[in-house]
Homo-oligomer: A and B are copies of this chain.
Amino acid sequence: MRISELSAKSGVAIPTIKYYLREGMLHQGEQTAATRAEYDETHLRRLRMIRAMLEVGRLSVASIKKVIESVEDESLPTHEMLGTAHYALSPGVEPEPGEEWEAARAQVDALVEELGWDVDPEAPPRGELAQTIIRMRQLGVSIDLGPYAEAARKLVAEVEMKTIPFDGPRDAAVEALVLGTVLYGRAFDALRRMAQESESARRLTS
């Protein structure tokens, strides 16, 4: 298909497609004339994936680029490729030097240990969780994370992992991991806010 059709089908404007091509986030089409290139389903799919990461995942273009680079780096073993892509999805948090930070990080590390989870000591979500714990503590919000950890583990193990084709081509696996992280994350968040509205209505208007 021509770039105009690719744009119509993906909902991505032509100048934006050209930007992704220049940045290497989208592979070149097949040149059929000096000013004409043909695109196919792989281009459409990549554009849809970028759009999902951008709009639904609210990721920055820089993060999306990192995810795509890890997919395309053939030298990385599958587990590392998945890890690199996965970490690129993390909003990332600057450690706040001081005792409060140390204590919160220690609490996170103890929780992960207790759960028996196999998570890298430097994994970015550890820092995110530490920051959240500090804010909770400062504001006096209760911090029993056990039920959240159990719900997360269950959804990941029983639903999400089944959607990832670990035996298939590597880009299919990373794509499924990235999209699952972003899309299921957003779906859960929206559902949770509806559950809050519903429970709150039940308690206040009955």
Contacts and interface: CB of A to CB of B under 8 A. Distances in A.
A180 B183 CA distance: 22
A135 B52 CA distance: 6
Interface residues of A, number: 85
A67 interface: no
Provide the main secondary structure of the chain A interface. helix
B194 A123 contact: yes
A195 B59 CA distance: 20
Nearest to A187: B132
Contact of A125 (B82, B179, B193): B193
Contacts of A89: 193
B120 A197 contact: yes
A160 interface: yes
A44 to B, nearest CB: 9
A187 B185 CA distance: 12
B139 A203 contact: no
Interface stretch (A15-23, A26-34, A68-76, A151-159): A151-159
A194 B119 contact: yes
A204 interface: yes
Contacts of A42: none
Nearest to A164: B200
B149 A191 contact: yes
Contacts of A91: 58
A176 interface: yes
A151 B141 contact: no
A179 B135 CA distance: 9
A44 B3 CA distance: 55
A164 B189 CA distance: 19
Contact of A83 (B79, B118, B157, B197): B197
13 contacts: A58-B58, A58-B91, A112-B194, A125-B191, A133-B187, A136-B183, A148-B188, A148-B191, A149-B191, A149-B195, A152-B192, A152-B194, A166-B204
